[in-house]
Amino acid sequence: MDLKRHQGVVVIVAGVAAAIVVIIGTGYRVTNMPGSPIGDYTYYVSIGVLVGVAIEGAKRFSAGSGRTSPTRGRAASAIDVDHPLDATPERPLLPGDGDESV
């Protein structure tokens, strides 16, 4: 794997871990249960990590992933899409084209 993919995986893992900490910490804070396993410092740092992951994700999304799509730079049309269930012929059938034995 290249460095960008490693960085992306690390950002995702950090976001998931921070989200779990924030969810557990918020649950204890909302219900006012004593003995929360999530301290204040860890809770607020995790919120900061989530904000950072959201900003990084927005940057990556707006910049694109570096891959080009087949329709980038031109408008896609129905002609570009081959649907596997589309059984329509390329031109309409005219009298005399098919089996006329009916």
Please state whether 79 falls in left (phi above 0), alpha (psi between -120 and 50) or beta.
Answer: alpha
Residue ranges in the chain modelled with pLDDT below 50: none
pLDDT of 3 reads: 79
The conformation of residue 97, written as its DSSP 8-state character, comes to: S
pLDDT of 61 reads: 81
Task: Answer whether 84's CB lies under 8 Å from 56's CB.
Answer: no
Structure token digits, residue 29: 């804070």
Output b/e per residue, 29-42; b: 16+ Cβ within 10 A.
eeeeeeebebeeeb
